[in-house]
Structure 1
């Protein structure tokens, strides 16, 4: 079996492992293995093939890691409306307790809500508030 075939088989195994695990870094390493196969097709010796695979694979991983660091992350899971359908909904607070919490009725259940403002700032009073996040089983609300 020719060395290029071994490189292609290794790249295919890395892609299969990536599909099974969901880690994107294995795909970057598979690109490096494909570079090793192309180097074998190009007639480079075993050392050149290994160096090509290592440089391209490590470069792809480094580039992907750098790129991920440059893009801002999304909202935290506790404040992501795609994960928590209550975020963005409104609730009516009839009164606040001394500890800055209140009880509201939302979607057929009673919930504890906490004010999203400064801890030293008291909630503004009764009214309609928007759910901004969830902390455990409590809604964090604000105007």
Structure 2
């Protein structure tokens, strides 16, 4: 009977260690099921009840995680994601606009530049907010620091 209790606690520890390697929280929810079953075993419940407790607690915990903000998969558009494009957030100077488009020197090459929706052409200093192919989408820079 004691071997079943050891199984639940070792299993919970293994799930927690694996969770630390994966970083998804799902194995942590399964570890909660193992802990609940270990507590049920400690309370004297038969093996069938322990298995049922582990399954129910793990399923409820996984379902609660899926409904929480931690369980939702949020995909960012790569064109606006600074983790994908290192140019996003970089400063850019544009001297002249024509129909909300321009050409500007950036990183040693001429780039096509387009104003983001709602932005005006009256600023001189801009910040890259997105990339669309080889076109930089820019918005007026809020804080200009002298170089």
Alignment CA distance shift 1:132-1:26 (3 Å): same
1:93 and 2:87 correspond: no
1:127 and 2:127 correspond: no
Instruction: Look up the match of 2:144.
Output: none
Shift in Å at residue 31 of structure 1? 1.1
Q: TM-score, normalized by length of structure 2?
A: 0.70
* 21-30 or 37-46, larger mean C-alpha shift: 21-30
Instruction: Look up the match of 1:111.
Output: 111
Q: Number of residue pairs matched?
A: 138
Mapped to 2, the partners of 1:61 and 1:96 lie a distance apart of 53
SS at match of 1:17: helix
Instruction: Look up the match of 1:6.
Output: 7
SS at match of 2:48: helix
**Unpaired runs of 5+ in structure 1?**
none
Instruction: Look up the match of 1:141.
Output: 138
Shift in Å at residue 39 of structure 1? 0.8
1:104, 1:112 within 8 Å by CA — same for their partners in 2? yes
1:91, 1:128 within 8 Å by CA — same for their partners in 2? yes
Instruction: Look up the match of 1:39.
Output: 40
